[in-house]
Amino acid sequence: VFEELGLKPGDYVDELGCTIGEELIRPTRIYVEPVTHLARDFHLLGAAHITGGGILENLPRVLPSSCRAVLWKGSWPEPPIFGYLAEKGGLTPKEMLRTFNSGLGMMMVVPGEEAEEIVDRLKGLNERAFVVGEILPRDKNQAAVEVVE
C-alpha cells in the first residue's frame, strides 16, 4: 500500500472508514481466554491461530494428513481491508488465503455436533464466531484446505 499505491499512513481510505495506518496497525488478537473457557466444556480437536502464512498454511498444521478442511465461501464476514488489498494488489483468492487470515484470526476444529453450541458460547463471551466449514477425508491428490461456493 505504501510502495505500489503511494499511500502514507495518515491517508484516509473511504473503503476502510479510517486511515490506512490505523487499519494496518491493529494489534493481533490473542485468544487464550476464550479458548481456555471453551476447553473446560467442549472437545476442542485443534486450534490454529491464523497469522503469517494465512489460512492455507496454518490450518493444515492442526489436521492429520488424512483430513482436509472444506471452507464455505461467504460463511464469515470478511473485513473490508482484505477486499481492498485484493483489488488494489491484484491478488487472487488463493493468494489472499495463503497470505492473510481473511478475518478468521483463530480457527478451531470441533465435533460437528458441538459446533453451534460453541458458536453460541463464544457470542455470549462477546466474540465473533462462525461455523465456516467441515473436516472431510483427504486423498493424496487433494489440497489440505479447499474453499467451495
Per-residue confidence of the chain (149 residues) as pLDDT tens digits? Answer: 999 999 999 999 999 999 999 999 988 889 999 999 999 999 999 999 998 889 999 999 999 999 999 999 999 999 999 999 999 999 999 999 999 999 999 999 999 999 999 999 999 999 999 999 999 999 999 999 999 98
Q: Please tell me whether residue 99 adopts helix, strand or coil conformation.
A: helix
Res 7: pLDDT: 96
According to the model, what pLDDT value does residue 29 have?
A: 86
Contact criterion met (CB below 8 Å) for 56 and 140: no
| Type of residue numbered 5 | L
- The rounded distance, in Å, linking the Cα atoms of 34 and 84 is 29
Strands 145-148 and 67-72: parallel
The 8-class DSSP code of residue 38 comes to H
Radius of gyration of the chain (CA): 17
Q: What is the pLDDT of residue 85?
A: 94
Question: Given this model, what pLDDT does residue 32 score?
Answer: 94
